Amino acid sequence: MKYHPIDSDLFVRNRAKFTAKMKSGSIAVFNSNDIYPIGADSTMPFEQARDLFYLSGADQEETILLLFPDAIDPKHREILFVRETNEHIAIWEGAKLTKEKAYEVSGIKTVYWLTDFEKVFFNLMTEADTVYFNTNEHYRQSVETQTREDRFIKWCKEKFPAHKWEKSNPILQSIRGTKEPQEIELISQACKITEKGFRRVLEFVKPGVWEYEIEAEYMHEFLRNRSKGFAYTPIIGSGFSACVLHYIENNQQCKDGDMLLMDVGAEYANYASDMTRTIPVNGRFTARQKEVYNAVLRVKKEATKMLVPGTLWAEYHQEVGKIMTSELLGLGLLDKADVQNENPDWPAYKKYFMHGTSHHMGLDTHDYGPLKTPMQANMVFTVEPGIYLPEENMGIRLEDDVVIQEQGEPINLMKDIPLEIEEIEECMNK
């Protein structure tokens, strides 16, 4: 791994939070992700299942975590199963987790080879009544591929039909949303790497460069700072492309007079950052670009103030919509009749700002976390309003990552990344 070692105390605390919410006499099982094939002998880069990483720190394929707080034998209350390694594997694939290293990473004392899983699992199931399955129930999920977790669930139900089943997801939704201080520090590190990439790009962008060249500049800076790269597929859209919300081709030339929208973020230790900045390709905002940019910036600042304990996510978005409506009226993009006659299910402002303002962020860019209960301190949210004007060949979105505090406004983890017009112009015209 490129990142510095993480103290296993983080994963010990995360497991304690999870097991505290388990029913008595129950086992929870978490599987690693598969390595997915491309063709021939090629595969996609491995990405660990975030829930398994959250609870163990094990960042390796063919890994299983088993939690059984009521196991008769204390050594079986936490078990990590890892792929058996040897000198041959070390030469061909690189070093894998030994039992000793697995303990060091996770804080789990009982480590078995993966080949022992079925035997150990059968023995423990004779003591258990219930099994927690880890299904993906994220509100944005659209998975079509059968995962290692899916195969385990199918196998387990066939092998142990008399047991009861529970879902791990509600527990994970409740505990992953509120971050430990160590997690916030890891997210902050990802944000700092993103800042380095953005400052590099501010000096690089000029009329005539290509969007993919800008993507390459970010990747260069991310990799040289211990990141695997982008936390999500980067959006680097100039001119009209900035109005396409999930534009990822990044294959157009940046032209003089265009605005350039960049929705990018580095990962660090599997934790994400999520930044959006919109800059003038030629280094100078026009009067109109300033007008729209500052409208978005005002919405962002007002929205950020509302991210405090007790805020309800749905009501928050309604209030942000009202602020955006006021800005659009000021820009002359809406008039009073538009607002008076609007459809409550699709307010008038949605013509120019059609996506949400905030989402949880952490191990996943759109992280697990409760959305129907009041916000709490140490939740990490994005703030990302935008105005999109296809007829003007311009889309502007601004986004930072913030941590909700017990009192006062949230802490902006991206406060050092240039945002104000004057600072952006100064950096681009050194």
Question: pTM score, two decimals?
Answer: 0.96
User: Tell me, what's the pLDDT at 41?
Assistant: 86
Q: Which domain holds residue 129?
A: 9-176
Task: Provide the pairing of β-strand 78-82 with 130-133.
Answer: unpaired
Query: Is there a single domain that holds both residue 348 and residue 220?
Result: yes
| Contact in structure between 1 and 105 (CB atoms under 8 Å) | no
Neighbour count for residue 367 (Cβ, 10 Å): 24
- Residue 212 sits in a domain whose CATH number is 3.90.230.10
Q: For 150-177, what is the mean pLDDT? A: 97
Query: Is there a single domain that holds both residue 133 and residue 42?
Result: yes
pLDDT over threshold 80, residue 89 = no
Beta bridge partners of 16: none
Query: Is there a single domain that holds both residue 119 and residue 228?
Result: no
CA-CA distance, 228 to 222, in Å (whole number)? 7
User: Tell me, what's the pLDDT at 253?
Assistant: 98
Query: Does residue 361 fall inside a structural domain?
Result: yes
Query: Is there a single domain that holds both residue 171 and residue 186?
Result: no
pLDDT over threshold 80, residue 86 = no
Query: Does residue 13 fall inside a structural domain?
Result: yes
Q: For 386-398, what is the mean pLDDT? A: 98
Task: Calculate the CA dihedral of residues 55, 56, 58, 64 and round it to 10 degrees.
Answer: -80
Of how many residues is the chain composed?
Answer: 430
Query: Does residue 190 fall inside a structural domain?
Result: yes
User: Tell me, what's the pLDDT at 90?
Assistant: 72
| Contact in structure between 366 and 246 (CB atoms under 8 Å) | no
Query: Is there a single domain that holds both residue 186 and residue 75?
Result: no
Query: Is there a single domain that holds both residue 159 and residue 238?
Result: no
Q: Say which residues have a Cβ less than 8 Å from residue 232's Cβ, sequence separation at least 6.
A: 265, 272, 274, 365
CA-CA distance, 192 to 413, in Å (whole number)? 8
Query: Does residue 244 fall inside a structural domain?
Result: yes
Nearest to 397 by CA among 366, 361, 353: 353
Per the structure block, which two tokens stand in for 206?
Answer: 């000029």
User: Tell me, what's the pLDDT at 39?
Assistant: 92
Q: For 339-365, what is the mean pLDDT? A: 96
Query: Does residue 4 fall inside a structural domain?
Result: no
Distance between terminal CA atoms of the chain?
A: 36
Write out pLDDT tens, residues 33-64: 999 999 998 999 999 999 999 999 999 999 99
CA-CA distance, 177 to 367, in Å (whole number)? 7
Amino acid at 238: S
User: Percent of the chain scored above 90 by pLDDT?
Assistant: 93
φ/ψ of residue 82, rounded to 5:
-130, 155
Per the structure block, which two tokens stand in for 419?
Answer: 């945002």
Question: Of 122, 151, 176, which residue constitutes the final position of a domain?
Answer: 176
φ/ψ of residue 180, rounded to 5:
-75, 155
Amino acid at 120: V
Question: Of 176, 200, 215, which residue constitutes the final position of a domain?
Answer: 176
pLDDT band at 342 (very low <50, low <70, confident <90, very high): very high
pLDDT over threshold 80, residue 94 = no
| Contact in structure between 403 and 411 (CB atoms under 8 Å) | yes
User: Tell me, what's the pLDDT at 285?
Assistant: 98
Q: For 278-292, what is the mean pLDDT? A: 98
Query: Is there a single domain that holds both residue 234 and residue 120?
Result: no
Please, is 327 exposed, middle or buried when counting C-beta atoms within 10 Å of its C-beta (0-12, 13-18, 19+)?
A: buried
Q: Say which residues have a Cβ less than 8 Å from residue 56's Cβ, sequence separation at least 6.
A: 11, 15, 30, 63, 65, 80, 105, 106, 108
Write out pLDDT tens, residues 113-145: 999 999 999 999 999 999 999 998 888 888 888
Measured over the CA atoms of residue 105, residue 382, residue 411 and residue 136, the dihedral's sign is negative
Amino acid at 121: F
User: Tell me, what's the pLDDT at 346?
Assistant: 94
Query: Does residue 56 fall inside a structural domain?
Result: yes
Query: Is there a single domain that holds both residue 148 and residue 29?
Result: yes
Q: Which residue has the tokens 């941590």?
A: 403
Q: Is 22 helix (H, G, I), strand (E, B) or coil?
A: coil
CA-CA distance, 183 to 378, in Å (whole number)? 10
Q: Which residue has the tokens 């950096």?
A: 427
pLDDT band at 79 (very low <50, low <70, confident <90, very high): very high
Active site residues per annotation: 41, 246, 263, 274, 355, 359, 366, 384, 388, 397, 399
Query: Is there a single domain that holds both residue 68 and residue 126?
Result: yes
Query: Does residue 382 fall inside a structural domain?
Result: yes
Question: Of 176, 198, 221, which residue constitutes the final position of a domain?
Answer: 176
| Contact in structure between 334 and 349 (CB atoms under 8 Å) | yes
Query: Does residue 17 fall inside a structural domain?
Result: yes
Query: Is there a single domain that holds both residue 346 and residue 392?
Result: yes
DSSP track, 301-346 = HHHHHT-STT--HHHHHHHHHHHHHHHHHHTTSS-HHHHHT-BTTB
User: Tell me, what's the pLDDT at 171?
Assistant: 97
What element of type H or E holds 386?
A: strand 386-389
CA-CA distance, 215 to 31, in Å (whole number)? 33
Q: For 344-359, what is the mean pLDDT? A: 96
Nearest to 264 by CA among 233, 243, 225: 233
Q: Say which residues have a Cβ less than 8 Å from residue 287's Cβ, sequence separation at least 6.
A: none
User: Tell me, what's the pLDDT at 347?
Assistant: 97
Average pLDDT, the chain: 96
pLDDT over threshold 90, residue 18 = yes
User: Tell me, what's the pLDDT at 142?
Assistant: 81
| Contact in structure between 44 and 38 (CB atoms under 8 Å) | yes
Number of domains in the chain: 2
Query: Is there a single domain that holds both residue 270 and residue 328?
Result: yes
CA-CA distance, 140 to 138, in Å (whole number)? 5
Q: For 333-341, what is the mean pLDDT? A: 95
- Residue 147 sits in a domain whose CATH number is 3.40.350.10
User: Tell me, what's the pLDDT at 140?
Assistant: 84
Query: Is there a single domain that holds both residue 172 and residue 297?
Result: no
User: Tell me, what's the pLDDT at 87?
Assistant: 75
